[in-house]
Structure 1
Amino acid sequence: MKKKKNLVAKLRLGIQVFFLVLIASISLNHSLSAYGISIPFVGSASLHAVCPFGGVVSLYQLATVGSLVKKVHEASLVLMGIAFFLVILVGPAFCGWVCPLGTVEELIGKIGRRMFKKKYNTFIPASMDKYLRYLRYGVLVWVVYVTATTMQLVFADYDPYYALFNFWTGEVPLTAMVILALTLIGSLFIERPFCKYGCPYGALLGLFNKVRIFTIRRNASTCIDCKACDRACPMNIQVSTAGAVRDHQCITCLKCTSEAACPVSETVELMAGTFTVKTLEGVSREKEGAK
């Protein structure tokens, strides 16, 4: 059973690593293209061209002037559209399954969890955390406003995502490097600190948790109140007290579900109405039952 319970986690990790390597390769290829060198089968677009948030901050300028913010590529609009489709369907899966910065934070967090064990991700008191997690909405409003009024990609000067994949170029401002360093160091103590407290795109996608079609639901009739789901949640959401997880911090990582943390089958699941998404473990259980 333990092996089956790891199937979803392995699939998610595989997808995370794929996008991490892909974005790193594209960014490196972009730098190498200046020297006439390229990595085979990998694009050489600017990092801004493969970031859906670039499309978001360009919407005002696109609507009023008819052009995108400088450095933002049309591909960002396409990626933005795909991300919005997914977030309406399953919530911020982009954050939990795709975002390379979130993946790096999570991987560093594994080291922190080994170092601090049960204390990991509990260093900030819940009474303070519940207010700090709204900071990213202030960042979102500031980024959208400043970008709209200056028509410049201002957030690039502070963006740890941009810094992570361009630190070797000498083009990254000191502010972005400092925020990246704080994010990476902070990940040793807090799971996904930038995702929780600073990411403007995560803040925007998080709003769609209120209206997403498929949501994580807890079956109160089979719940044994062990709070394993709470301990597993990287975003410190109290899943054990929710009927449906609509918290703006949910990243659809599925760590809290019956396929991962919850010891009771069909208790915490990704559902739309009465329809339950059959994940890898669920399919395996059905096959075993049919034998």
Structure 2
Amino acid sequence: MATPLHTQIIPEIPSSLLPAVSLKQENPRAKKKLVRRTDRDYSQLVRRTYQALFLLMNVWIGGVFYVWVRHFETGAAQTLPRPAGVEGWLPIAGMMNLKYFVLTGHIPSLHPAAMFLLITFFSIAFLFRKAFCSWLCPVGTISEYLWRLGQKLFRRNFRIWAWLDVPLRGLKYLLLGFFVWAVSSMSANAIAAFMQSDYGVIADVKMLDFFRFLGQTGAIVVAVLVVASLFVQNFWCRYLCPYGALLGLTSLLSPLRIRRNPASCIDCAKCAKACPSALPVDQLITIKSAECTGCLECVAMCPAEGALQMSLSVPAARTRVPTWALAAGVAVLFFGIVGFAKTAGYWNTDVPSYLYRQLVPHAFEARHPMPGDPGLRD
């Protein structure tokens, strides 16, 4: 039998002379050596403490406000003053009052705390990302409790398909656009007329009654949101909250950013898996998204020294911002602005008790003023 031509031209090389070659394809991203962090991360302990304290404060405010409302509804002896902090649940009133202040230079006498709290949360978002959403907001805290409960019950959370996730995230911006349009179309006189209407004076009572006397449709909506939050992280915040959308746009101006150092990063992707906003932290150098809440979950999960941190975005600085500085900054802004409003006498709404005695028992009769109403025309 004839020898093939190629074996005559190219002699066989002994196997002992061949280099050892592994047929397994190595992942170049997995070759980095891990240099473990030496400092213990306390960011989540601090953040969850803030969340719990602020949630308890809101529960206390809600309880006091309920007792205050019942005093006027039943005629019982008044034992507690109206807590102005309840106006934190009136963000639209805060926007209207802020515009009124910008146009007139006068601080409104009705629901001024709503304006000062809005300014506080704007300031926090401007300096410290959307830290209000992940550190202070009671709705955000309850939402986080729900998805963590879902993790324990179902061993995981679920992420909506990208083709559906993107348009759903746009819903909160549509809602925000509607409210911004409604407020921006009002003149100072129209805002004053709205606030001085029966509905405007007891807008806080109307808000309480919405939850006290939740109808069938409202109950179904709340139930759907609760169930959805068990499966999808921060369902309400991610897709439907216009307040979060407003603060997210404001946070784009923040000097703080989550920054990843590729030289130290070991590409384990733990940061991306931990991110409640489903941001690809492991693929980016700087997180600039309006969805970033500054929760520091990604930083807490990173095992590599110097790979991921919150830092100033100024190119000349790139200074790391420790957890204590972020926590202290949020507290200073909150208590500083609220303290100023209280000290200066701008915190409490100026409504006499006799007017509350007339309006609160008949709150269900107060109709929301419409743009075409005579009182709202210029």
Normalising by the smaller structure, the TM-score range is 0.7 to 0.9
Query: Aligned partners of 1:49 and 1:147: how far apart in 2?
Result: 17
Task: Report if aligned partners of 2:93, 2:114 keep a CA contact under 8 Å in 1.
Answer: yes
Partner AA of 2:84 in structure 1: A
Does 2:177 match 1:141? yes
Partner AA of 2:322 in structure 1: K
Identity %: 28
Query: Aligned partners of 1:256 and 1:163: how far apart in 2?
Result: 40
Alignment correspondent of 2:59 = 24
**Offset of 1:79 from its aligned partner?**
1.5
Partner AA of 2:298 in structure 1: C
Query: Aligned partners of 2:219 and 2:79: how far apart in 1?
Result: 26
Q: 1:106 to 1:56 in 2, by over 3 A?
A: same
Q: 1:246 to 1:51 in 2, by over 3 A?
A: farther
Task: Report if aligned partners of 1:48, 1:73 keep a CA contact under 8 Å in 2.
Answer: yes
1:161-172, aligned counterparts within 5 Å?
169-170=212-213, 172=214
Which secondary structure does the structure 2 equivalent of 1:133 belong to? helix
Does 2:222 match 1:187? no
The CA deviation string for residues 178-213 of structure 1, in whole angstroms up to 9 with x for no partner, is 433222111101111111001111101111332211
Partner AA of 1:269 in structure 2: Q
Q: 1:136 to 1:233 in 2, by over 3 A?
A: same
Does 2:304 match 1:267? no
Does 2:320 match 1:276? yes
Q: 1:112 to 1:139 in 2, by over 3 A?
A: same
Which secondary structure does the structure 2 equivalent of 1:134 belong to? helix
Task: Report if aligned partners of 1:89, 1:212 keep a CA contact under 8 Å in 2.
Answer: yes
Query: Aligned partners of 2:45 and 2:206: how far apart in 1?
Result: 28
Task: Report if aligned partners of 1:61, 1:148 keep a CA contact under 8 Å in 2.
Answer: no
Task: Report if aligned partners of 2:92, 2:179 keep a CA contact under 8 Å in 1.
Answer: no
Does 2:55 match 1:12? no
Does 2:102 match 1:59? no
Query: Aligned partners of 1:250 and 1:57: how far apart in 2?
Result: 27
Does 2:122 match 1:84? yes
Alignment correspondent of 1:230 = 272
Query: Aligned partners of 2:102 and 2:318: how far apart in 1?
Result: 40
Residue segments in structure 2 that go unaligned for 5+ positions in a row = 1-35, 72-76, 200-204, 325-378
Task: Report if aligned partners of 1:49, 1:73 keep a CA contact under 8 Å in 2.
Answer: no
Task: Report if aligned partners of 1:87, 1:208 keep a CA contact under 8 Å in 2.
Answer: yes
Alignment correspondent of 1:287 = none
**Offset of 1:60 from its aligned partner?**
3.9
Q: CA RMSD in A?
A: 3.3
Q: 1:88 to 1:168 in 2, by over 3 A?
A: closer
Which secondary structure does the structure 2 equivalent of 1:237 belong to? coil
Q: 1:146 to 1:177 in 2, by over 3 A?
A: farther
Task: Report if aligned partners of 2:228, 2:235 keep a CA contact under 8 Å in 1.
Answer: yes
Number of equivalences:
264
Runs of 4+ aligned residues of structure 1 deviating over 3 Å after TM superposition are 36-39, 49-54, 57-70, 146-153, 162-168, 172-179
The CA deviation string for residues 219-242 of structure 1, in whole angstroms up to 9 with x for no partner, is 111111111111111111111111
Query: Aligned partners of 1:261 and 1:43: how far apart in 2?
Result: 43
Name which structure has the greater RCO, CA cutoff 8 Å, separation 6+: 2
Partner AA of 1:55 in structure 2: G
Question: TM-score under structure 2 normalisation?
Answer: 0.61
Task: Report if aligned partners of 2:85, 2:113 keep a CA contact under 8 Å in 1.
Answer: no
**Offset of 1:56 from its aligned partner?**
2.4
Alignment correspondent of 2:161 = 125
Larger Rg: 2
Query: Aligned partners of 2:233 and 2:208: how far apart in 1?
Result: 20
Partner AA of 2:112 in structure 1: E
1:197 counterpart (218, 221, 239): 239
Query: Aligned partners of 1:182 and 1:216: how far apart in 2?
Result: 33
**Offset of 1:66 from its aligned partner?**
8.0
Task: Report if aligned partners of 1:27, 1:45 keep a CA contact under 8 Å in 2.
Answer: no
Residue segments in structure 1 that go unaligned for 5+ positions in a row = 157-161, 281-291
